[in-house]
């Protein structure tokens, strides 16, 4: 694929993503990008990687790029964003762009004279400058500033700089199928440069990327792709074989699978969610992983009458709550631009309602684990404190020793990309008084 055609595809993809968001679609960028390539199977894997890398670069550094383009006198649109990324982020000389963008079949149109003049002023320059306003320099919507500063404090700058980087690839070994040592050996032989993670007992980090889903080990159910922070959060549920566990917001089942392995396929896991489409992905994953102690149900809402049938019967209840996903910006940089103030306000109401409803399920002496992949206090500590204030029959429980050793905290689990090289996570464990 010619470089000019790669540029044209990146422009098409940014246009596709922008149009979807403007039309009110909640589809994440990775889903839109995946569909785009699926419809164009003639684009090879190397080309897909280069195109997607350019698109994600624009999504990660969009605010900085927009500011630089405006200062150079260019209107901001998908084409100029991609051109700006090539010059400012990939340090491509203007001569390359003039050669690549030749208007030939599948290639982007030649540079206009205003584009050429503006890009010439940016050539050889850094993306970030001291003159940039804070929101542009660190790539976040202006309205998020107060919440981010309240949550991050002195770590505001390093945390946001870390959030602008690409996330690592982490795997969770499925102990129902294999051992970590056996999987490490298979991954080494396949050239993935795996490293066992010290702070999650079944975690592996890959230092070389590749199509891991095509590996025989994946088809055999030996592992799932799961961020190390998500693995640690799931481990807060200390369920024993034979326990009854409710995964209240189970989604596609990432944490459900981890729980089933920890329980050695013994006991009962009820996997519930209001999103039927996400739950529909779970049976195939369960079968591949060899899990058979999970029962799936779609709820009409968090207050579905069905929930009452299991009142005060669960040893453990896990709430992987719907949230802004601000802790996952490394993987989903589009989330920051798709989240509006009203979304945060509405989500905190939903989170409180889910907590209240799910608390009914916990039996005396049982535990409720609340997890978000958010950095905002409104979704995290404030929710935990409000729950405790409203539910006097619950108390905060100390974190397991492993989690305490990672974060240095006994009360709440707080994980950050700049400190722990994981996604941003918050979790609290509550115990119902006997």
User: What's the chain's average pLDDT?
Assistant: 95
What does the pLDDT read at residue 247? Answer: 98
Query: Is the same domain home to 310 and 203?
Result: no
Residue 183 lies in a domain: yes
What does the pLDDT read at residue 28? Answer: 84
pLDDT tens digits, 173-183? 999 999 999 99
Distance from C-alpha of 60 to C-alpha of 166, rounded to nearest angstrom: 9
Query: Is the same domain home to 298 and 182?
Result: no
Distance from C-alpha of 275 to C-alpha of 279, rounded to nearest angstrom: 6
Q: 431: helix, coil or strand? A: strand
pLDDT tens digits, 219-272? 999 999 999 999 999 999 999 999 999 999 999 999 999 999 999 999 999 999
What does the pLDDT read at residue 26? Answer: 73
**What's 263's domain CATH number?**
3.40.50.150
pLDDT classification of 25: cutoffs 50, 70, 90: confident
* Residue 403: both structure tokens together: 């989690």
Domain of 420? 228-432
pLDDT tens digits, 309-334? 999 999 999 999 999 999 999 999 99
What does the pLDDT read at residue 27? Answer: 79
pTM: 0.94
Residue-by-residue DSSP string for 341-388:
HHHHHHHHHHHHHHHHHHHTTEEEEEEEEEEES---GGGTHHHHHHHH
Query: Is the same domain home to 265 and 375?
Result: yes
Whether the pLDDT of residue 24 is over 90: the answer is no
SS3 content of the chain, % helix, strand, coil (to 5): 50, 15, 35
Query: Is the same domain home to 9 and 114?
Result: yes
Distance from C-alpha of 37 to C-alpha of 113, rounded to nearest angstrom: 32
pLDDT tens digits, 110-139? 999 999 999 999 999 999 999 999 999 999
Query: Is the same domain home to 404 and 299?
Result: yes
Residue 131: Cβ-neighbour burial (10 angstroms; 0-12, 13-18, 19+): exposed
Query: Is the same domain home to 31 and 66?
Result: yes
pLDDT > 90 in the chain, percent: 93
Query: Is the same domain home to 234 and 217?
Result: no
Please compute the mean of the pLDDT values over residues 275-288 and round it to a whole number: 96
What does the pLDDT read at residue 148? Answer: 96
Nearest-CA neighbor of 356 among 323, 325, 328, 383?
Answer: 383
What does the pLDDT read at residue 45? Answer: 87
pLDDT tens digits, 136-157? 999 999 999 999 999 999 999 9
Please compute the mean of the pLDDT values over residues 55-65 and round it to a whole number: 95
pLDDT classification of 105: cutoffs 50, 70, 90: confident
Residue 258 lies in a domain: yes
Last residue of a domain, one of 192, 225, 258: 225
pLDDT classification of 211: cutoffs 50, 70, 90: confident
Total domains in the chain come to 3
Query: Is the same domain home to 124 and 212?
Result: no
């Amino acid at each position: 694929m010619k470089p000019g055609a790669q540029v044209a595809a990146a422009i098409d993809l940014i246009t596709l993503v922008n149009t979807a968001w403007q039309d009110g679609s909640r589809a994440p960028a990775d889903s839109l990008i995946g569909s785009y390539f699926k419809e164009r199977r003639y684009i090879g894997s190397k080309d897909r990687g280069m195109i997607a890398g350019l698109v994600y670069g624009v999504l990660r550094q969009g605010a900085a790029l927009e500011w630089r383009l405006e200062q150079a006198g260019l209107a901001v649109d998908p084409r100029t964003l991609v051109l700006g990324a090539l010059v400012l982020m990939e340090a491509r000389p203007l001569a390359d762009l003039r050669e690549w963008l030749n208007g030939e079949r599948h290639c982007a149109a030649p540079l206009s004279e205003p584009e050429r003049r503006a890009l010439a002023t940016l050539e050889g320059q850094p993306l970030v400058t001291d003159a940039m306003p804070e929101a542009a320099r660190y790539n976040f919507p202006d309205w998020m500033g107060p919440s981010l500063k309240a949550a991050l404090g002195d770590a505001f700058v390093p945390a946001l700089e870390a959030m602008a980087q690409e996330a690592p690839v982490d795997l969770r070994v499925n102990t129902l199928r294999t051992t970590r040592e056996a999987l490490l050996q298979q991954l080494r032989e396949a050239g993935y440069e795996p490293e066992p993670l010290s702070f999650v007992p079944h975690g592996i980090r890959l230092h070389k990327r590749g199509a891991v889903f095509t590996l025989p080990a994946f088809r055999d159910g030996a592992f799932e792709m799961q961020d190390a922070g998500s693995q640690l959060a799931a481990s807060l549920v200390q369920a024993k074989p034979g326990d009854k566990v409710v995964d209240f917001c189970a989604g596609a089942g990432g944490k459900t699978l981890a729980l089933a392995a920890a329980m050695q396929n013994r006991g009962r896991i009820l996997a519930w969610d209001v999103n039927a489409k996400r739950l529909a992905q779970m049976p195939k994953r369960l079968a591949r992983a060899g899990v058979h102690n999970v029962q799936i149900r779609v709820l009409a809402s968090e207050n579905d009458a069905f929930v009452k049938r299991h009142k005060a019967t669960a040893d453990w209840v896990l709430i992987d709550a719907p949230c802004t996903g601000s802790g996952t910006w490394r993987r989903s940089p589009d989330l920051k631009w798709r989240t509006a103030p009203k979304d945060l306000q509405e989500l905190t109401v939903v989170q409180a309602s889910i907590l209240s409803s799910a608390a009914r399920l916990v039996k005396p002496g049982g535990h409720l684990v609340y997890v978000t992949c958010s950095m905002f206090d409104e979704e995290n500590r404030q929710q935990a404190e409000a729950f405790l204030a409203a539910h006097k029959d619950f108390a905060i429980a100390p974190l397991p020793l492993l989690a305490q050793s990672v974060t240095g905290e006994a009360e709440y689990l707080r994980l950050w990309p700049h400190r722990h090289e994981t996604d941003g996570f918050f979790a609290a464990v509550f115990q119902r008084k006997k």
